[in-house]
Amino acid sequence: MTLKRLFIQHLRNLDSIDISPSEQVNLIFGENGSGKTSILEAINVLGVGRSFRSHKHKPLINHQQDSFTVFGKVSAEGTEIPVGINRQANGTATFKANGALVPSAAALASYLPIQVINSDTFQLLEGSPKVRRQFMDWLVFHVEPGFFQVWKDAQRCLKHRNSLLRRDRMDRFELATWDKELAQYSEQIHAYRQVCMTKFFETFYSLIQEFIAIEGIELTYYCGWDQNKDYASILADSAEKDRRQGFTQIGSHRADLRIAVKGFPAAEVLSRGQQKLLVCALKIAQGYVFSRLTERRCIYLIDDLPAELDEQHRYLLVRWLDSMGTQTFVTGVEQQILIDAWRQLPGTEIKLFHVEQGKIQAVINSR
């Protein structure tokens, strides 16, 4: 799965850009503030409906305009599928795929699976469980067709249950009805996640030995409640405590991917450099599992590669990306440093793009 054409209009400082990317490697260089990261943002918007910097859409719109548009042609199994998104300053959003309107950004996401590696990737170690839950659910969403509907149903039940908990007089019978339904959906979500995480762990542990020499790295999937107990019983037993707090404290919405080194949280014991390598390994492992389970490939967006990895590990990351056959978009300030990372792969098709003051120009690559 590759992006064959990318058109961006009025997104941040990008006035109008229309490029035909390489199906393999696209290196985007330019000074800070030139618009490099904005191009990656636009691709992310095309894939998931929002920027990886923020969920807010208004900051993405050029201050002189009232909307932005991102359009692309996605090549999948020899077929080109046009996809596009337009967002207005008033919040109106239009999503299209293959000439037809699609109801949501989630529906759009299946056309363009995207992985991002940037400074925010550290949140996998330092951030809240929500960040790691989203990381897990990216894979589950893309490989388990039934997951998203079950997840939405669980969110609906959770909303109703929390509303009941906040009432002055809680209706125990009505609460029990929602508990039963929430337990059913939560168990299904757990089953989906558990299958995917088992396969993810297998791939991660085989890759990490090559990427980073740290003993005792351990990943643990926590489903959100004590697995030795029936979740429906847990909900019933915690009803009074939940009522006092005003929300449901235990469940699949509290799931986490715990990342430890010899029993301690990885963020507390690893150096910044080791953390960089670990989060890259997590992202690469997810791409491998996605490809193996779906026979498709996701697109990697890597913002400011030189800042994230030293020279040795840039080469290793590049070899992994090359072995996956994935399309990659990489930004950096210096052209030569970006090129050097791929110098050992002479057969790779590389396109160079120079960005300056919101305008982009293709550069002949002589390597």
For residue range 70-127, list pLDDT tens digits in order: 999 998 777 899 999 999 988 888 999 888 998 888 888 888 999 999 988 889 999 9
The domains found in the chain, sorted by start residue, are: 121-295 (1.20.1050.90)
- pLDDT attached to residue 36: 93
Contact 299, 43 (CB under 8 A): yes
- The Cα 40–Cα 208 span in angstroms is 27
Residue 171 near residue 245, CB atoms below 8 Å: no
Provide mean pLDDT across the span 263-276.
89
| 258: β partners | 220
Total-model pTM: 0.92
Helix, strand, coil shares of the chain, percent, nearest 5, are: 45, 25, 30
The residue-averaged pLDDT of 361-366 equals 77
Contact between 27 and 335 under an 8 Å Cβ cutoff? The reply is: yes
pLDDT band at 338 (very low <50, low <70, confident <90, very high): confident
Please name every residue paired with 261 in a beta bridge, in sequence order, or none if there are none.
Answer: 217, 264
Which residue do the tokens 């890259």 mark? 280
What is the CB neighbour count within 10 angstroms for residue 299?
Answer: 24
pLDDT digits (tens, 9 = 90+) for 60-82: 998 889 999 999 999 877 789 99
The span from the CA of 49 to the CA of 71, in Å, is: 12
Please tell me the distance from the alpha carbon of residue 48 to that of residue 38, in angstroms, as a whole number. Answer: 15
Cβ-contact 297, 326 below 8 angstroms: yes
Condensed to tens digits (0 to 9), the pLDDT of residues 271-325 reads 888 888 899 889 999 999 999 999 889 999 999 877 767 788 788 888 888 888 8
**Helices 129-143, 172-211: inter-axial angle, 10-degree rounding:** 90
